[in-house]
Structure 1
Amino acid sequence: MRYFYTTLALALTTAISAPAFAQDNNALNYNVLNIQAEASREISNDEMTAVLYIEKSNKQPAQLASEINQLMTQAINTAKKYSQIKFETGSQSTYPVYDNDNRKVKEWRGRAEIRLESKDFKAASQLISELQQNFQTQSINFNVSDSQRKKVENELMVEASKNFQQRAQSLAQAWNKSSYQLININLNTNSYSNRPVPLMAIMKAASADVIPEQEVASGESQITVNANGSIQLK
C-alpha cells in the first residue's frame, strides 16, 4: 500500500510540472527572430615571415653533417646581427640516396631550415639576401601580427555588436513591437589575406651580391567579426 501512494504522488508531480515547462518553452519560442550582422576592416600586414633552407649531398654522412652544421652556424651568426629579427632553426633531416637498382647507397643528402620573423621588412629583406649566398628561399609571407590582430578584433566585436543591436531594433519596429530581448549571441572572427611576395626582386638582388634597399609590398588582410544570435520581440 505504501508503494501505491508513493507512485501516485510522483505521477501527480509530473502531471503538474509538465504543463508549466511547456508554457515556458512556448513563451521562449514566441516571436523569436534569428539575426546576423558583421563588421569588417582592411588593415596592412605588419609582419613578415620567411623560411630558408640549405640542401647538400655527400658520400660521407659525417662530412655532410659537418658541412650543414657549419653553414647553419654561419647563418645564425649572420642573423644575430639583426636585433629586430626573430629567428629559429627549423626541421633538419638526413637521408640516403640509392642508385638506380635501389640496392646501394649512392650518397647522403641533408636538409636544414632557418625561420625568420620581423616587422622590419627592410632588415628582413637584407638578411634574406645575405643568407641566399648559401640558402634557398622556401617561402616568404606577410600577415597581421598577433598584437595588431587582437586589437582590431576587439574593436570589431564592439562594432558588430552595435550593428546587431541596430538590426534588432529595426526589426522590432518593422513588426510593430516596442522592444526586444536578447536570447543569445555568438561572435566569430575570420580573416582573408592578400600577401604579394617580392621574392624575385630579392633573389635578383642577391644574385648580384647587393643587399637590396627596397620597399616591399606587404598587402592587406581583411578581418571580419560575425555576430549571429536570436532575439524575442515584445
Structure 2
Amino acid sequence: MLKSEFAKTFAMLATGLSCVLMAQNTLADAPEHRIINLQAEATREVANDEMQATLYTELNEKDAATLANKINSIVNQAMNTAKSYPKVEIKTGGQNTYPVYNDKQQLVNWRGRAEVILNSQDFKQTSELIAKLQESMQLGNINFEVSAEQRNKVESELYIEASKAFQQRAKLLLAPWGASNYELVNLQLNANANRPMPIYAARDASFKADSIESQNIEAGNSEITVIANGSIQLK
C-alpha cells in the first residue's frame, strides 16, 4: 500500500518536473518580441496647375415653365460660348426649381438656379471664358488644385522618400536598444494633400468683362504628404 502511494507521488513529481523543463526550453527557444511602432513622412509643396470655377444663374418667374425655359436658354448659351475655348472643359452642375410663398402661404412665384462648372489647366482661357459668361451668369467660386496627373507623379516619388525615411529611423534605433538588425513587421503608406480654400466671389465679383485682362491669377500651392506607419522587430 505504501509502495503504491509512493509510486503515485513520484510519478506526479516527475510529470511536474518534466513540464517545468519543457516550459524553460520553450522560453529559451522563443524569439525576442521587441516590437517598436514607427512613423515617418515625406512632404512636398507643389504648384497648383488646375483651375475650377463655378458660375450660376438664379431667376424668379411667375410661371415655372417660363422659368425653366429662361434658365435652360442661359445654360445652353454658356455651353455654346465655351466651344470657343477648347482648352476649357465645361459641364452642367446643380440645378433646382422651387416655389416661393408669401406669409399667407400663397404661391407668389417660382425661383430657379442652375450652375456650370469650368475646369482647365489653361488659366488664361478660363479667365477669359469666365468674363464672357458673366454677361449672363454670376461667379460662384474659384478653386485651384494639383492636377491628377501631377499628383500621381509626386505621390509616387514621395512613397519612395517616405519609405527611405522610415528605414532610416528604424536603423537609428538599433544602437540605443542594443540591437544589430531589425525585421519589418508591417507597413502602411498613405497620401494626403492640404488644398487651398476655394475663393468665393461676391455678387459684384472682380472678374468683370472689362477688367479681366488686368487680373493677376495666383493659383498658389498645395502640400502633398505621404505618411509611413509601421512596426519593426529588433534583433
| TM score, norm. by length of structure 2 | 0.82
Q: 1:155 matched to which residue of 2?
A: 157
Instruction: Give the match for residue 41 of structure 1.
Output: 44
- Distance, in Å, in 2 between the alignment partners of 1:29 and 1:224 is 34
Kindly state the Cα deviation for residue 99 of structure 1 after the two structures are TM-superposed.
Answer: 1.8
How many angstroms apart in 2 are the aligned matches of 1:181 and 1:122?
A: 53
Q: 1:190·1:223 contact (CA, 8 Å) conserved in 2?
A: yes
Task: Give 5+ residue unaligned stretches, structure 2.
Answer: 1-18
- Following superposition of structure 1 onto structure 2, how do residues 64-143 of structure 1 map, counting pairs within 5 Å? 64-102=67-105, 104-143=106-145
Superposed CA offset, 1:38-75 (max 9, x none) = 10000011111111110111112221111111111111
Q: State the Cα deviation string for residues 176-216 of structure 1 (Å, max 9, x = none).
A: 2211111111111111123574957x93351x634435431
Residue 128 of structure 1 deviates from its aligned partner by 0.7
Q: CA RMSD in A?
A: 2.5
Bigger mean CA deviation after superposition, 185-194 or 162-171 = 185-194
- Cα pair 1:56 1:109 within 8 Å, conserved: yes
| Native 8 Å contact 1:51 1:138 kept in 2 | yes
- TM-aligned CA deviation for residue 115 of structure 1: 0.6
- SS of the residue aligned with 2:213? coil
Alpha-carbon distance in structure 1 between the residues aligned to 2:219 and 2:87: 17
| 1:134 to partner: Cα distance | 1.2
Letter in 2 for 1:232: Q
Alignment deviations for residues 68-119 of structure 1 (CA, whole Å, 9 cap, x no partner)? 11111111111111110111011111111112211x2111111111011011
Superimposed CA distance per residue, residues 152-176 of structure 1 (whole angstroms, 9 cap, x where no aligned partner) = 1110010000000011111112222
CA contact (8 A) 1:97 1:105 kept: yes
Residue ranges of structure 1 left out of the alignment (5+ in a row): 1-15
Tell me which structure has the larger Cα radius of gyration.
Answer: 2
With over 3 angstroms needed to count, the CA separation of the structure-2 counterparts of 1:210 and 1:126, relative to structure 1, is same
Quick one: percent identity of the two aligned structures? 49
Q: Structure 1's 29 and 194: CA in aligned 2 closer, same or farther, altered over 3 A?
A: farther
Match of 1:184 in 2: 186
| Cα 1:196–1:69 shift into 2, 3 Å | closer
Once the two structures are superposed, what CA deviation does each residue of 1:121-174 show, in whole Å capped at 9, x if it has no partner?
111111111111111111111111111111111100100000000111111122
- SS class of match (2:216): coil
| Aligned residue number for residue 6 of structure 1 | none
Aligned length: 211
Structure with the bigger percentage of helix: 1
Question: Residues of 1 paired with 2:230 and 2:30: CA distance?
Answer: 17
Distance change in 2, residues 1:29/1:124 (3 Å): farther
Distance 1:192 1:59 in 2: 45
